[in-house]
C-alpha cells in the first residue's frame, strides 16, 4: 500500500460504532447519540421524482459534472438563497458534499502544501488533506467563546507553505456559526496571504438563537476568484443516502474538479440527481419544521448538561451536535475501570449504560465527546438519564 493510505489511521468512531452494533445484535437497548444525519425521512415529492425518473428510463450516465438542469437549479438556489451569482458551468454536482471537498482539496493542493484547518474539525478534512499529499495545520478555536475562528489564531498558524483554508460554518462538531465580522477578517487575511478558501456550508439551514448563516463570499466578495463554496442535500432535505452535493467556484477550479471526478467516479447516480432537482422545488416548510424540532432538542440537551456536575458544553448555535466537555472526569473510574480520555469515556459509557457517542479525539479535541441531537426526544431524554447515572457513579 502507498505511503498516503498508510498515513490514514483507522477511524476511532468505528471502534465505538462496531461495539454498539454488536450490542444491538444481541438485543441490548443501545441509545445512539452518534448520528451524523437527520432522523427525518426524505420528503415524499423527492422520492416520487426519483421513482418517476427510474420508471421513465432516466438510468444512464449524465455528464460527469451533473445534469445541466440540476446545475442550473443549484445556481438559481445560490442566487435566491445566498445572493451569489454563478453560471451553471461554475457549479459541479458530486457524490455528496464529501466528494466535492475531496475534489477541491485534491485539485488545489500540491505535495508538501499546508492546509489550514480550524480545530475542532470535521473528521474527514485532515485525512483528505493527507490523501492529497498535503499537511493539515490546525488553527485552535477557543471553546470559551463558542469556538469562533479568529484571525489572530489564523495568522499564528499560517506558514509560507499554507495554500488553502478549509472553513465549516455552521460547524460540525462544535455548532459554531461564524459572524459577519469574523468572516470579513478571515476573508481579508486569505486575500492578503493568497490562500484559496474552501467554505463547507452544508449546515447552512441549521442555525438557532436568531443567528444568521453568512457565506464568506457575502462577507468578502473579492474572494470570488479564490474561494469555492460547498453545499449539499444530505442535511437540508434529509437525503444522506442519496449522495448528492455541489460545489460552486471559479470556473477553472470547477473544471479541474470535473476532470478529476470524470476519471474517479463519473456522475452522481442519475435518479439521485432527479431527486435533488425535486428537493430544490420543495418549499421551506419541511426544513423549517425539522430545524425547529432540532432547536427544541438542542435546548433540552443543554438543560440536561447544565444539571450534571462535572459536565459542561459551549452552547452550539448551528448544525446538530454538542461538544460535551468531559475532561474534568478523566482520572476517575467507572465500574472499576479508569476513564483517561475521550475514547475510554465513550467505551465505558457504552459498556455500562449502553449510550453511544463519538470520542472528541476524532475531531481534534480529546477533552470532549460529541453527541448528536438528530435523534428523537425520547432517545435524548433516555440517553441523558443514563449519562447522568454514569457520571454520578464515577469515583
Ligand atoms: C461538515 C460536513 N461536511 C461535509 C459532510 C458530507 O456530507 P455529504 O453527505 O453531502 O457527503 C458532512 C457530513 O456529515 C459534514 O458534517
Ligand 1 nearest-atom number relative to CA 319: 16
Does 207 have pLDDT greater than 80?
Answer: yes
Q: Do 165 and 309 belong together in one domain?
A: no
**Best of 11, 37, 74, 97 to mutate for ligand 1, by most ligand atoms within 8 A of CB?**
97
Compute, in angstroms, the gap from residue 383 CA to the centroid of ligand 1: 25
User: What pLDDT score does 105 carry?
Assistant: 98
Does 10 have pLDDT greater than 80?
Answer: no
CA-to-CA distance for 279 and 37, rounded, in angstroms?
17
Domain of 14, CATH number, reads 3.90.1150.10
Q: Do 361 and 270 belong together in one domain?
A: no
Collect all residues with Cβ–Cβ distance below 8 Å to 116 and sequence separation of at least 6. 137, 139, 154, 157, 158, 162, 164, 165, 166, 195
Collect all residues with Cβ–Cβ distance below 8 Å to 245 and sequence separation of at least 6. 93, 94, 95, 96, 97, 98, 99, 100, 202, 230, 231, 232, 233, 234
Q: Do 146 and 165 belong together in one domain?
A: yes
Q: Do 297 and 376 belong together in one domain?
A: yes
Q: Do 26 and 117 belong together in one domain?
A: no
User: What pLDDT score does 20 carry?
Assistant: 87
Average pLDDT over every residue of 237-243: 97
Domain boundary among 279, 313, 339: 279
Residue nearest to atom 16 of ligand 1 (CA): 172
Compute, in angstroms, the gap from residue 98 CA to the centroid of ligand 1: 6
Q: Do 140 and 194 belong together in one domain?
A: yes
DSSP per-residue string spanning 81-110: HH-----GGGEEEESHHHHHHHHHHHHH--
Compute, in angstroms, the gap from residue 140 CA to the centroid of ligand 1: 21
Ligand 1 nearest-atom number relative to CA 240: 9
Exposed / middle / buried, residue 211 (Cβ in 10 Å: 0-12, 13-18, 19+):
middle
Q: Do 51 and 7 belong together in one domain?
A: no
- Residue environment code for 122-138, b if the CB has 16+ CB neighbours within 10 A, otherwise e: bbebbbbbbbbebbbbb
**Best of 102, 167, 202 to mutate for ligand 1, by most ligand atoms within 8 A of CB?**
202
Compute, in angstroms, the gap from residue 328 CA to the centroid of ligand 1: 30
If we measure between CA atoms, which residue out of 242, 264, 232 comes closest to residue 53? Answer: 242
Q: Do 166 and 62 belong together in one domain?
A: yes
Domain boundary among 279, 304, 324: 279
Does 325 have pLDDT greater than 80?
Answer: yes
Average pLDDT over every residue of 52-75: 98
User: What pLDDT score does 35 carry?
Assistant: 84
Across the chain, mean pLDDT equals 96
Q: What is the span of the domain harbouring residue 387?
A: 3-41+285-392
User: What pLDDT score does 199 carry?
Assistant: 98
Q: Do 289 and 193 belong together in one domain?
A: no
If we measure between CA atoms, which residue out of 169, 114, 161 comes closest to residue 141? Answer: 169
Number of separate domains in the chain = 2
Q: Do 217 and 317 belong together in one domain?
A: no
If we measure between CA atoms, which residue out of 374, 192, 194 comes closest to residue 297? Answer: 374
Ligand 1, residues at Cβ distance < 6 Å: 36, 96-98, 122, 168, 172, 200, 202, 232, 234, 240, 245
Is the entire prediction scored with pTM above 0.95?
yes
**Best of 232, 246, 273 to mutate for ligand 1, by most ligand atoms within 8 A of CB?**
232
Ligand 1 nearest-atom number relative to CA 98: 11
Compute, in angstroms, the gap from residue 214 CA to the centroid of ligand 1: 18
The band of 74, judged by pLDDT with boundaries at 50, 70 and 90, is: very high
Q: What percent of the chain has pLDDT over 90?
A: 94
Q: Do 268 and 324 belong together in one domain?
A: no
Q: Kindly give the residue spans of alpha helices, DSSP state H, lying in 165-241.
A: 180-192, 216-219
Domain of 161, CATH number, reads 3.40.640.10
Does 224 have pLDDT greater than 90?
Answer: yes
**What does DSSP assign to residue 128?**
H
Average pLDDT over every residue of 246-271: 98
Average pLDDT over every residue of 111-138: 97
Average pLDDT over every residue of 12-35: 88
Q: Kindly give the residue spans of alpha helices, DSSP state H, lying in the chain.
A: 3-6, 12-25, 44-55, 68-82, 96-108, 124-131, 151-157, 180-192, 216-219, 251-264, 270-279, 285-306, 342-353, 377-392
Q: Do 226 and 292 belong together in one domain?
A: no
Q: What is the pLDDT of residues 279-324, one digit of tens each?
A: 999 989 999 999 999 999 999 999 999 999 999 999 999 999 999 9
**Best of 37, 127, 201, 235 to mutate for ligand 1, by most ligand atoms within 8 A of CB?**
235
Q: What is the pLDDT of residues 128-178, one digit of tens each?
A: 999 999 999 999 999 998 999 999 999 999 999 999 999 999 999 999 999
Q: What percent of the chain has pLDDT over 70?
A: 100
Domain boundary among 219, 247, 279: 279
Amino acid at each position: 500500500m502507498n505511503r498516503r493510505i498508510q498515513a490514514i489511521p483507522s477511524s476511532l468512531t468505528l471502534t465505538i460504532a462496531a461495539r454498539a452494533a454488536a450490542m444491538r445484535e444481541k438485543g441490548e437497548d443501545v441509545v445512539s447519540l452518534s448520528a451524523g444525519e437527520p432522523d427525518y425521512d426524505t420528503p415524499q415529492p423527492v422520492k416520487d421524482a426519483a421513482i418517476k425518473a427510474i420508471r421513465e428510463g432516466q438510468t444512464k450516465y449524465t455528464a460527469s459534472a451533473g445534469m445541466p438542469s440540476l446545475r442550473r437549479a443549484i445556481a438559481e438556489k445560490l442566487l435566491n438563497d445566498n445572493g451569489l451569482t454563478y453560471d451553471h458551468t461554475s457549479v459541479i454536482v458530486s457524490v455528496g458534499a464529501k466528494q466535492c471537498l475531496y475534489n477541491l482539496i485534491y485539485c488545489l493542493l500540491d505535495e508538501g502544501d499546508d492546509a489550514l484547518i480550524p480545530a475542532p474539525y470535521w473528521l474527514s478534512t485532515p485525512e483528505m488533506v493527507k490523501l492529497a499529499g498535503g499537511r493539515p495545520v490546525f488553527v485552535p478555536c477557543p471553546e470559551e467563546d463558542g469556538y469562533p475562528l479568529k484571525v489572530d489564531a489564523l495568522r499564528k498558524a499560517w506558514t509560507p507553505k499554507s495554500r488553502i483554508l478549509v472553513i465549516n460554518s455552521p460547524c460540525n462538531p462544535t455548532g459554531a456559526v461564524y459572524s459577519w465580522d469574523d468572516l470579513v477578517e478571515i476573508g481579508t487575511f486569505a486575500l492578503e496571504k493568497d490562500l484559496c478558501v474552501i467554505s463547507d456550508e452544508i449546515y447552512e439551514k441549521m442555525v438557532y438563537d436568531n443567528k444568521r448563516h453568512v457565506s464568506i463570499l457575502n462577507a468578502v466578495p473579492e474572494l470570488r476568484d479564490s474561494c469555492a463554496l460547498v453545499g449539499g442535500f444530505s442535511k437540508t432535505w434529509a437525503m444522506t443516502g442519496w449522495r448528492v452535493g455541489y460545489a460552486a467556484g471559479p470556473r477553472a477550479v470547477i473544471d479541474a474538479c470535473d476532470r478529476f471526478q470524470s476519471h474517479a467516479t463519473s456522475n452522481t447516480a442519475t435518479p439521485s440527481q432527479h431527486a435533488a432537482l425535486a428537493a430544490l422545488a420543495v418549499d421551506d416548510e419541511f426544513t423549517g419544521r425539522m430545524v425547529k424540532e432540532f432547536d427544541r432538542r438542542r435546548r433540552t440537551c443543554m438543560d440536561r448538561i447544565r444539571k450534571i456536575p462535572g459536565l459542561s458544553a459551549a452552547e452550539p448555535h448551528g448544525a446538530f451536535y454538542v461538544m460535551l466537555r468531559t475532561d474534568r472526569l478523566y482520572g476517575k473510574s467507572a465500574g472499576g475501570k479508569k476513564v483517561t480520555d475521550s475514547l475510554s469515556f465513550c467505551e465505558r459509557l457504552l459498556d455500562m449504560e449502553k449510550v453511544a457517542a463519538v470520542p472528541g479525539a476524532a475531531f481534534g479535541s480529546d477533552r470532549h465527546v460529541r453527541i448528536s441531537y438528530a435523534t428523537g426526544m425520547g432517545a435524548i431524554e433516555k440517553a441523558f438519564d443514563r449519562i447522568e447515572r454514569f457520571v454520578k457513579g464515577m469515583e
